[in-house]
Chains A and B, each alone.
Chain A
Amino acid sequence: MAFRPIATTRSVTGMPTGRLAIWWLLASEIVIFGGVLVPYLMHRLAHPEWANYSVHTNIIAGGTNTFILLTSSLFAVLAHAAAERGDGKLAAKWLIATIFGAIAFLCVKTVEWSIEISHGYTITANGFWAFYYTAAGIHASHVIGGAICMGFVAHAAWHGKELQRVEFVGLYWHFVDLVWIFLFPLLYIAK
Protein backbone atom coordinates (compact mmCIF):
# COMPACT_ATOMS: atom_id res chain seq x y z
CA MET A 1 0.00 0.00 0.00
CA ALA A 2 1.43 3.32 -1.03
CA PHE A 3 -0.06 5.32 1.76
CA ARG A 4 -0.31 4.41 5.46
CA PRO A 5 -1.84 6.78 7.99
CA ILE A 6 0.55 8.23 10.52
CA ALA A 7 -1.46 6.66 13.33
CA THR A 8 -0.44 3.17 12.23
CA THR A 9 3.12 3.85 11.17
CA ARG A 10 4.57 6.15 13.77
CA SER A 11 4.93 5.40 17.45
CA VAL A 12 6.44 7.73 20.01
CA THR A 13 5.16 5.96 23.11
CA GLY A 14 6.28 2.48 22.12
CA MET A 15 2.81 1.37 21.10
CA PRO A 16 0.99 2.03 17.83
CA THR A 17 -0.42 5.55 17.94
CA GLY A 18 -3.81 4.20 16.91
CA ARG A 19 -3.95 2.08 20.03
CA LEU A 20 -2.86 5.01 22.17
CA ALA A 21 -5.76 6.95 20.66
CA ILE A 22 -8.14 4.18 21.68
CA TRP A 23 -6.86 4.33 25.26
CA TRP A 24 -7.48 8.10 25.23
CA LEU A 25 -10.98 7.47 23.91
CA LEU A 26 -11.64 4.92 26.67
CA ALA A 27 -10.29 7.30 29.30
CA SER A 28 -12.74 9.96 28.14
CA GLU A 29 -15.49 7.33 28.24
CA ILE A 30 -14.65 6.69 31.89
CA VAL A 31 -15.60 10.29 32.61
CA ILE A 32 -18.71 10.13 30.43
CA PHE A 33 -20.12 6.99 32.07
CA GLY A 34 -18.74 7.95 35.46
CA GLY A 35 -20.55 11.27 35.12
CA VAL A 36 -23.83 9.34 35.12
CA LEU A 37 -22.99 6.45 37.43
CA VAL A 38 -21.33 8.45 40.21
CA PRO A 39 -24.32 10.81 40.69
CA TYR A 40 -26.59 7.76 40.46
CA LEU A 41 -24.65 6.20 43.32
CA MET A 42 -24.87 9.40 45.38
CA HIS A 43 -28.62 9.67 44.91
CA ARG A 44 -29.18 5.97 45.43
CA LEU A 45 -27.46 6.16 48.82
CA ALA A 46 -29.48 9.24 49.79
CA HIS A 47 -32.87 8.00 48.62
CA PRO A 48 -34.18 4.96 50.52
CA GLU A 49 -37.37 4.99 48.43
CA TRP A 50 -35.42 4.08 45.26
CA ALA A 51 -35.19 0.51 46.56
CA ASN A 52 -38.95 0.30 45.94
CA TYR A 53 -38.46 1.35 42.30
CA SER A 54 -35.47 -0.83 41.48
CA VAL A 55 -37.40 -4.02 42.33
CA HIS A 56 -39.29 -3.46 39.09
CA THR A 57 -36.20 -3.82 36.89
CA ASN A 58 -36.06 -7.10 35.04
CA ILE A 59 -33.12 -9.15 36.33
CA ILE A 60 -33.67 -11.84 33.66
CA ALA A 61 -33.33 -9.30 30.86
CA GLY A 62 -30.31 -7.72 32.58
CA GLY A 63 -28.68 -11.10 33.19
CA THR A 64 -29.32 -12.22 29.62
CA ASN A 65 -27.74 -9.04 28.31
CA THR A 66 -24.72 -9.51 30.58
CA PHE A 67 -24.33 -13.01 29.16
CA ILE A 68 -24.65 -11.68 25.60
CA LEU A 69 -22.04 -8.95 26.14
CA LEU A 70 -19.56 -11.30 27.83
CA THR A 71 -19.97 -13.73 24.93
CA SER A 72 -19.53 -10.98 22.33
CA SER A 73 -16.41 -9.85 24.21
CA LEU A 74 -15.04 -13.36 23.77
CA PHE A 75 -15.79 -13.14 20.03
CA ALA A 76 -14.03 -9.78 19.84
CA VAL A 77 -10.89 -11.12 21.52
CA LEU A 78 -10.95 -14.22 19.28
CA ALA A 79 -11.07 -11.83 16.31
CA HIS A 80 -8.01 -10.13 17.77
CA ALA A 81 -6.23 -13.48 18.11
CA ALA A 82 -7.05 -14.30 14.47
CA ALA A 83 -5.81 -10.88 13.32
CA GLU A 84 -2.56 -11.44 15.24
CA ARG A 85 -2.02 -14.59 13.21
CA GLY A 86 -2.70 -12.57 10.06
CA ASP A 87 -5.96 -14.41 9.34
CA GLY A 88 -8.13 -11.49 8.18
CA LYS A 89 -11.06 -13.61 7.03
CA LEU A 90 -11.36 -15.41 10.37
CA ALA A 91 -11.01 -12.09 12.20
CA ALA A 92 -13.85 -10.67 10.08
CA LYS A 93 -16.04 -13.67 10.90
CA TRP A 94 -15.51 -13.26 14.64
CA LEU A 95 -16.22 -9.53 14.35
CA ILE A 96 -19.49 -10.28 12.53
CA ALA A 97 -20.36 -12.71 15.35
CA THR A 98 -19.66 -9.84 17.76
CA ILE A 99 -22.01 -7.60 15.76
CA PHE A 100 -24.73 -10.23 16.10
CA GLY A 101 -24.09 -10.09 19.85
CA ALA A 102 -24.69 -6.34 19.72
CA ILE A 103 -27.93 -6.86 17.79
CA ALA A 104 -29.11 -9.51 20.27
CA PHE A 105 -28.31 -7.14 23.13
CA LEU A 106 -30.36 -4.37 21.53
CA CYS A 107 -33.29 -6.73 20.87
CA VAL A 108 -33.44 -7.75 24.54
CA LYS A 109 -33.19 -4.08 25.52
CA THR A 110 -36.04 -3.15 23.19
CA VAL A 111 -38.37 -5.79 24.63
CA GLU A 112 -37.33 -4.93 28.18
CA TRP A 113 -37.89 -1.20 27.78
CA SER A 114 -41.19 -1.68 25.93
CA ILE A 115 -42.56 -3.69 28.85
CA GLU A 116 -41.33 -1.19 31.40
CA ILE A 117 -42.64 1.86 29.54
CA SER A 118 -46.02 0.19 28.99
CA HIS A 119 -46.22 -0.31 32.76
CA GLY A 120 -45.71 3.40 33.34
CA TYR A 121 -42.04 3.25 34.35
CA THR A 122 -40.94 6.05 32.05
CA ILE A 123 -37.91 8.30 32.18
CA THR A 124 -39.98 11.02 33.89
CA ALA A 125 -41.55 8.73 36.53
CA ASN A 126 -38.93 9.54 39.18
CA GLY A 127 -35.22 9.98 39.76
CA PHE A 128 -34.44 6.28 39.66
CA TRP A 129 -36.02 5.68 36.29
CA ALA A 130 -34.44 8.86 34.93
CA PHE A 131 -30.99 7.49 35.81
CA TYR A 132 -31.97 4.02 34.61
CA TYR A 133 -32.90 5.14 31.11
CA THR A 134 -30.09 7.69 30.86
CA ALA A 135 -27.29 5.34 31.90
CA ALA A 136 -28.56 2.33 29.96
CA GLY A 137 -29.45 4.59 27.01
CA ILE A 138 -25.94 6.05 26.75
CA HIS A 139 -24.61 2.53 27.01
CA ALA A 140 -26.94 1.25 24.28
CA SER A 141 -25.86 4.09 21.98
CA HIS A 142 -22.27 2.91 22.49
CA VAL A 143 -23.33 -0.62 21.56
CA ILE A 144 -24.85 0.74 18.33
CA GLY A 145 -21.76 2.84 17.57
CA GLY A 146 -19.41 -0.05 18.30
CA ALA A 147 -21.39 -2.41 16.05
CA ILE A 148 -21.21 0.06 13.15
CA CYS A 149 -17.45 0.52 13.60
CA MET A 150 -16.95 -3.25 13.72
CA GLY A 151 -18.81 -3.52 10.42
CA PHE A 152 -16.24 -1.25 8.74
CA VAL A 153 -13.30 -2.98 10.41
CA ALA A 154 -14.65 -6.44 9.51
CA HIS A 155 -15.05 -5.37 5.88
CA ALA A 156 -11.43 -4.21 5.71
CA ALA A 157 -10.15 -7.25 7.61
CA TRP A 158 -11.93 -9.59 5.20
CA HIS A 159 -9.75 -8.09 2.45
CA GLY A 160 -6.68 -8.44 4.64
CA LYS A 161 -6.36 -4.69 5.29
CA GLU A 162 -5.79 -2.75 8.51
CA LEU A 163 -5.72 -5.83 10.71
CA GLN A 164 -4.42 -3.74 13.64
CA ARG A 165 -7.85 -2.12 13.79
CA VAL A 166 -9.40 -5.43 14.83
CA GLU A 167 -7.63 -5.06 18.16
CA PHE A 168 -8.58 -1.38 18.47
CA VAL A 169 -12.28 -1.93 17.94
CA GLY A 170 -12.03 -4.94 20.25
CA LEU A 171 -10.60 -2.78 23.03
CA TYR A 172 -13.55 -0.44 22.63
CA TRP A 173 -15.96 -3.36 22.74
CA HIS A 174 -14.42 -4.74 25.93
CA PHE A 175 -14.89 -1.33 27.49
CA VAL A 176 -18.58 -1.34 26.54
CA ASP A 177 -18.72 -4.76 28.21
CA LEU A 178 -16.94 -3.36 31.30
CA VAL A 179 -19.46 -0.56 31.68
CA TRP A 180 -22.28 -3.06 31.56
CA ILE A 181 -20.55 -5.22 34.17
CA PHE A 182 -21.00 -2.28 36.57
CA LEU A 183 -24.41 -1.16 35.30
CA PHE A 184 -25.83 -4.63 35.89
CA PRO A 185 -25.38 -4.75 39.70
CA LEU A 186 -26.13 -1.02 40.06
CA LEU A 187 -29.45 -1.07 38.19
CA TYR A 188 -30.63 -4.66 38.42
CA ILE A 189 -29.16 -6.53 41.37
CA ALA A 190 -29.07 -3.98 44.21
CA LYS A 191 -32.64 -4.04 45.50
Chain B
Amino acid sequence: MAQSHAHTDGHDHDHDAHSPRHYVKVYVGLLVLLAVSIVGPEVSSHMGAAGLYVMLITAFGIAFVKAWLVIKHFMHLPAEKPIAGYILLICLMFLVLFFAGVAPDVHNHDGANWTNLAAKAEIARGMAAHEAELAAGGEHGAHGEHTTTHEVPKPVVREPAVVVAPKKFTDMKTDAEKKAWLMKRGEDVYVATACVTCHRTNGAGHAAFPPLVGQKDHMGDCATTLGIIKGGMSAPITIGDTVYTMPMPPTPNISAEDAAAVATYVRNSWGNDYGVCAP
Protein backbone atom coordinates (compact mmCIF):
# COMPACT_ATOMS: atom_id res chain seq x y z
CA MET B 1 0.00 0.00 0.00
CA ALA B 2 2.78 2.35 0.93
CA GLN B 3 4.34 1.94 -2.49
CA SER B 4 1.24 3.26 -4.23
CA HIS B 5 1.58 6.78 -2.81
CA ALA B 6 1.23 9.39 -5.50
CA HIS B 7 3.26 12.42 -4.48
CA THR B 8 1.34 15.42 -5.62
CA ASP B 9 3.22 18.17 -3.86
CA GLY B 10 6.87 17.31 -3.72
CA HIS B 11 7.05 15.70 -0.27
CA ASP B 12 10.24 13.74 -0.19
CA HIS B 13 10.08 11.88 3.14
CA ASP B 14 9.62 8.14 3.36
CA HIS B 15 6.42 6.42 2.42
CA ASP B 16 5.78 4.65 5.72
CA ALA B 17 5.23 7.97 7.48
CA HIS B 18 2.18 8.53 5.26
CA SER B 19 0.54 5.13 5.58
CA PRO B 20 -2.86 4.88 7.26
CA ARG B 21 -1.51 2.14 9.52
CA HIS B 22 1.17 4.51 10.81
CA TYR B 23 -1.43 7.22 11.48
CA VAL B 24 -3.59 4.80 13.46
CA LYS B 25 -0.55 3.79 15.54
CA VAL B 26 0.15 7.42 16.40
CA TYR B 27 -3.53 7.92 17.22
CA VAL B 28 -3.51 4.98 19.65
CA GLY B 29 -0.42 6.48 21.28
CA LEU B 30 -2.24 9.79 21.64
CA LEU B 31 -5.21 8.09 23.31
CA VAL B 32 -2.95 6.31 25.79
CA LEU B 33 -1.33 9.63 26.66
CA LEU B 34 -4.77 11.21 27.05
CA ALA B 35 -5.76 8.49 29.51
CA VAL B 36 -2.55 9.04 31.51
CA SER B 37 -3.09 12.82 31.53
CA ILE B 38 -6.54 12.32 33.07
CA VAL B 39 -5.66 9.55 35.53
CA GLY B 40 -2.31 11.03 36.61
CA PRO B 41 -3.68 14.24 38.15
CA GLU B 42 -6.53 12.31 39.81
CA VAL B 43 -3.99 10.02 41.48
CA SER B 44 -1.69 12.93 42.31
CA SER B 45 -4.40 14.59 44.42
CA HIS B 46 -3.94 11.77 46.96
CA MET B 47 -0.16 11.97 47.02
CA GLY B 48 0.46 15.07 49.12
CA ALA B 49 3.37 17.33 48.27
CA ALA B 50 4.86 15.07 45.59
CA GLY B 51 1.45 15.09 43.91
CA LEU B 52 2.05 18.56 42.53
CA TYR B 53 4.94 17.35 40.40
CA VAL B 54 3.01 14.29 39.26
CA MET B 55 0.14 16.59 38.28
CA LEU B 56 2.42 19.01 36.41
CA ILE B 57 4.21 16.23 34.53
CA THR B 58 1.12 14.20 33.67
CA ALA B 59 -1.02 17.22 32.77
CA PHE B 60 1.41 19.60 31.05
CA GLY B 61 4.38 17.39 30.23
CA ILE B 62 2.10 15.00 28.39
CA ALA B 63 0.38 17.89 26.61
CA PHE B 64 3.75 18.79 25.06
CA VAL B 65 4.38 15.16 24.07
CA LYS B 66 0.92 14.92 22.50
CA ALA B 67 1.45 18.21 20.70
CA TRP B 68 4.77 17.00 19.31
CA LEU B 69 3.22 13.72 18.10
CA VAL B 70 0.54 15.69 16.23
CA ILE B 71 3.08 18.16 14.80
CA LYS B 72 5.49 15.43 13.70
CA HIS B 73 3.21 12.68 12.45
CA PHE B 74 0.00 14.45 11.41
CA MET B 75 1.33 17.85 10.31
CA HIS B 76 4.71 16.54 9.06
CA LEU B 77 6.42 19.74 10.20
CA PRO B 78 9.92 18.20 10.59
CA ALA B 79 9.72 17.03 6.95
CA GLU B 80 8.46 20.43 5.79
CA LYS B 81 10.73 23.11 4.32
CA PRO B 82 12.47 24.92 7.20
CA ILE B 83 10.76 28.23 6.44
CA ALA B 84 7.46 26.91 7.87
CA GLY B 85 9.12 26.13 11.19
CA TYR B 86 10.83 29.54 11.25
CA ILE B 87 7.53 31.35 10.73
CA LEU B 88 5.92 29.45 13.61
CA LEU B 89 8.98 29.96 15.79
CA ILE B 90 8.95 33.72 15.26
CA CYS B 91 5.37 33.94 16.48
CA LEU B 92 6.17 31.71 19.45
CA MET B 93 9.03 34.03 20.33
CA PHE B 94 6.63 36.98 20.28
CA LEU B 95 4.59 35.12 22.89
CA VAL B 96 7.64 34.52 25.07
CA LEU B 97 8.55 38.20 24.78
CA PHE B 98 4.99 39.14 25.71
CA PHE B 99 5.09 36.85 28.74
CA ALA B 100 8.49 38.12 29.90
CA GLY B 101 7.41 41.74 29.59
CA VAL B 102 4.01 41.51 31.21
CA ALA B 103 4.20 38.63 33.68
CA PRO B 104 6.15 40.49 36.43
CA ASP B 105 3.42 43.13 36.66
CA VAL B 106 0.65 40.55 36.72
CA HIS B 107 2.33 38.08 39.10
CA ASN B 108 3.31 40.64 41.70
CA HIS B 109 0.63 42.53 43.54
CA ASP B 110 3.10 44.85 45.27
CA GLY B 111 5.71 46.97 43.55
CA ALA B 112 8.12 49.68 44.65
CA ASN B 113 5.51 52.42 44.32
CA TRP B 114 2.29 50.63 43.54
CA THR B 115 -0.13 48.06 44.87
CA ASN B 116 -2.64 46.09 42.85
CA LEU B 117 -5.64 46.73 45.07
CA ALA B 118 -8.14 45.14 42.72
CA ALA B 119 -6.20 41.87 42.55
CA LYS B 120 -5.74 41.74 46.32
CA ALA B 121 -9.41 42.45 46.92
CA GLU B 122 -10.35 39.79 44.38
CA ILE B 123 -8.17 37.18 46.09
CA ALA B 124 -9.51 38.08 49.53
CA ARG B 125 -13.09 37.99 48.23
CA GLY B 126 -12.59 34.68 46.43
CA MET B 127 -10.93 33.02 49.42
CA ALA B 128 -13.56 34.32 51.83
CA ALA B 129 -16.37 33.18 49.55
CA HIS B 130 -14.77 29.73 49.35
CA GLU B 131 -14.50 29.51 53.14
CA ALA B 132 -18.10 30.61 53.46
CA GLU B 133 -19.09 27.95 50.94
CA LEU B 134 -17.28 25.28 52.92
CA ALA B 135 -18.75 26.53 56.18
CA ALA B 136 -22.23 26.49 54.64
CA GLY B 137 -22.11 22.73 54.21
CA GLY B 138 -19.60 22.23 51.44
CA GLU B 139 -21.71 20.41 48.83
CA HIS B 140 -18.59 20.48 46.72
CA GLY B 141 -16.55 18.68 49.31
CA ALA B 142 -13.98 15.98 48.67
CA HIS B 143 -16.61 13.46 47.56
CA GLY B 144 -18.54 15.88 45.38
CA GLU B 145 -21.81 14.73 46.92
CA HIS B 146 -24.69 17.10 46.43
CA THR B 147 -27.35 17.59 49.03
CA THR B 148 -30.83 16.41 48.26
CA THR B 149 -31.88 19.88 47.13
CA HIS B 150 -29.15 19.91 44.48
CA GLU B 151 -28.48 23.49 45.39
CA VAL B 152 -25.21 24.58 43.87
CA PRO B 153 -23.58 27.55 45.57
CA LYS B 154 -23.62 30.46 43.17
CA PRO B 155 -20.36 32.27 42.64
CA VAL B 156 -20.34 35.60 44.42
CA VAL B 157 -21.20 38.43 42.08
CA ARG B 158 -18.36 40.90 41.58
CA GLU B 159 -18.59 43.81 43.97
CA PRO B 160 -16.44 46.85 44.53
CA ALA B 161 -13.58 46.32 46.91
CA VAL B 162 -15.74 45.00 49.71
CA VAL B 163 -14.56 41.88 51.41
CA VAL B 164 -16.91 39.15 52.55
CA ALA B 165 -15.93 37.78 55.95
CA PRO B 166 -16.71 34.13 56.46
CA LYS B 167 -18.31 34.54 59.86
CA LYS B 168 -19.95 37.42 61.70
CA PHE B 169 -18.21 39.22 64.53
CA THR B 170 -21.24 38.56 66.73
CA ASP B 171 -20.58 34.80 66.36
CA MET B 172 -17.22 35.19 68.11
CA LYS B 173 -17.39 34.21 71.76
CA THR B 174 -13.98 34.45 73.42
CA ASP B 175 -11.68 37.46 73.43
CA ALA B 176 -9.13 35.49 71.40
CA GLU B 177 -11.74 34.72 68.73
CA LYS B 178 -12.84 38.33 68.64
CA LYS B 179 -9.29 39.57 68.24
CA ALA B 180 -8.56 36.99 65.52
CA TRP B 181 -11.70 38.01 63.64
CA LEU B 182 -10.88 41.72 63.89
CA MET B 183 -7.27 41.15 62.77
CA LYS B 184 -8.31 39.07 59.75
CA ARG B 185 -11.12 41.39 58.78
CA GLY B 186 -8.91 44.41 59.42
CA GLU B 187 -6.20 43.10 57.13
CA ASP B 188 -8.74 42.34 54.39
CA VAL B 189 -10.16 45.86 54.56
CA TYR B 190 -6.71 47.41 54.89
CA VAL B 191 -5.39 45.79 51.71
CA ALA B 192 -8.67 46.17 49.83
CA THR B 193 -9.07 49.89 50.40
CA ALA B 194 -6.93 52.99 50.16
CA CYS B 195 -5.06 52.33 53.47
CA VAL B 196 -2.46 50.11 51.84
CA THR B 197 -1.76 52.54 49.00
CA CYS B 198 -0.08 55.04 51.31
CA HIS B 199 0.83 53.09 54.44
CA ARG B 200 1.92 49.97 52.49
CA THR B 201 1.47 46.31 53.38
CA ASN B 202 4.27 46.51 55.94
CA GLY B 203 2.86 49.64 57.63
CA ALA B 204 6.10 51.52 56.94
CA GLY B 205 4.54 54.24 54.81
CA HIS B 206 6.60 55.85 52.06
CA ALA B 207 7.46 59.28 50.68
CA ALA B 208 4.93 61.80 52.05
CA PHE B 209 2.96 59.15 53.90
CA PRO B 210 3.83 58.42 57.52
CA PRO B 211 4.58 54.98 58.95
CA LEU B 212 2.13 53.23 61.27
CA VAL B 213 4.84 51.20 63.01
CA GLY B 214 5.75 52.35 66.50
CA GLN B 215 3.46 55.41 66.46
CA LYS B 216 1.68 54.89 69.77
CA ASP B 217 1.75 58.62 70.50
CA HIS B 218 -0.03 59.51 67.29
CA MET B 219 -2.47 56.59 67.38
CA GLY B 220 -3.43 57.31 70.98
CA ASP B 221 -6.26 55.20 72.36
CA CYS B 222 -8.88 53.37 70.30
CA ALA B 223 -11.14 56.38 70.09
CA THR B 224 -8.32 58.47 68.56
CA THR B 225 -7.41 55.78 66.02
CA LEU B 226 -11.07 55.29 65.07
CA GLY B 227 -11.46 59.04 64.74
CA ILE B 228 -8.53 59.23 62.30
CA ILE B 229 -9.86 56.31 60.24
CA LYS B 230 -13.35 57.79 59.99
CA GLY B 231 -12.57 61.48 59.88
CA GLY B 232 -9.18 61.56 58.20
CA MET B 233 -6.32 63.75 59.40
CA SER B 234 -5.28 67.15 58.17
CA ALA B 235 -3.00 68.48 60.94
CA PRO B 236 0.69 67.97 60.18
CA ILE B 237 2.50 65.41 62.31
CA THR B 238 6.18 65.11 63.11
CA ILE B 239 7.96 61.77 63.32
CA GLY B 240 11.67 62.05 64.06
CA ASP B 241 13.00 64.77 61.76
CA THR B 242 10.23 64.42 59.19
CA VAL B 243 7.13 66.58 59.10
CA TYR B 244 4.21 64.93 57.32
CA THR B 245 1.77 67.45 55.89
CA MET B 246 -0.12 65.32 53.37
CA PRO B 247 -3.71 65.15 54.62
CA MET B 248 -5.39 61.75 54.98
CA PRO B 249 -8.87 61.57 53.43
CA PRO B 250 -11.81 60.63 55.66
CA THR B 251 -13.78 57.38 55.33
CA PRO B 252 -17.11 58.48 56.78
CA ASN B 253 -19.17 55.55 55.44
CA ILE B 254 -17.07 52.76 56.92
CA SER B 255 -19.10 50.46 59.18
CA ALA B 256 -18.40 50.38 62.92
CA GLU B 257 -17.16 46.78 62.63
CA ASP B 258 -14.82 47.53 59.75
CA ALA B 259 -13.44 50.64 61.44
CA ALA B 260 -12.78 48.65 64.62
CA ALA B 261 -11.20 45.87 62.57
CA VAL B 262 -8.83 48.24 60.77
CA ALA B 263 -8.01 50.01 64.03
CA THR B 264 -7.26 46.67 65.69
CA TYR B 265 -5.20 45.56 62.71
CA VAL B 266 -2.97 48.66 62.55
CA ARG B 267 -2.58 48.76 66.33
CA ASN B 268 -1.47 45.12 66.54
CA SER B 269 0.56 44.47 63.41
CA TRP B 270 4.20 44.87 62.36
CA GLY B 271 5.35 44.79 66.00
CA ASN B 272 2.67 47.15 67.30
CA ASP B 273 0.85 45.90 70.42
CA TYR B 274 -1.57 48.59 71.43
CA GLY B 275 -4.68 46.54 72.24
CA VAL B 276 -7.95 45.53 70.62
CA CYS B 277 -10.63 48.05 69.62
CA ALA B 278 -14.13 46.61 70.00
CA PRO B 279 -16.81 47.75 67.55
Contacts and interface: CB of A to CB of B under 8 A. Distances in A.
Interface of A: 11, 13-16, 19-20, 23-24, 26-28, 30-31, 34-35, 38-39, 41-43, 45-50, 52-53, 55-56, 59, 63, 66-67, 70-71, 73-74, 76-78, 80-81, 83-86, 119-121, 124-127, 129, 163-164, 167, 170-171, 174-175, 177-178, 181-182, 184-185, 189-191
7 contacts: A15-B9, A50-B126, A74-B27, A84-B8, A120-B152, A120-B155, A185-B37
Contacts of B38: 59, 63, 189
Interface string B13-38: 00000111001100100110010011
Output the residue of B18, B19, B87 with the most chain A CB within 10 A: B87
Interface of B is mostly: helix
B88 interface: yes
A20 B9 CA distance: 12
A14 B10 contact: yes
Interface string B104-126: 00111100000000010011011
Given A39-B102, A81-B20, A27 B87 contact: yes
Contacts of A174: 70-71, 74-75
Contacts of B67: 178, 181-182
Q: Give 10 closest A-B pairs by Cβ, nearest first.
A: A49-B126, A120-B154, A185-B59, A34-B95, A42-B106, A23-B84, A125-B155, A27-B91, A189-B59, A74-B27
Given A53-B155, A184-B63, 9 more contacts: A15-B84, A19-B84, A23-B83, A24-B87, A49-B126, A78-B20, A84-B6, A163-B8, A164-B8
Contact of B18 (A30, A84, A171): A84
B173 interface: no
Contacts of B83: 13, 15, 20, 23
B99 interface: yes
B158 A124 contact: yes
Output the residue of A11, A26, A52, A189 with the most chain B CB within 10 A: A189
Nearest to A34: B95
Contacts of A189: 37-38, 41, 55, 59
Interface in B93-148: 94-95, 98-99, 102-103, 106-109, 119, 122-123, 125-127, 130, 140
Contacts of A185: 37, 59-60, 62-63
Nearest to B56: A190
A27 B108 CA distance: 30
Contacts of A124: 158
B45 interface: yes
B174 interface: no
Contacts of A26: 88
A42 B23 contact: no
A81 B18 contact: yes
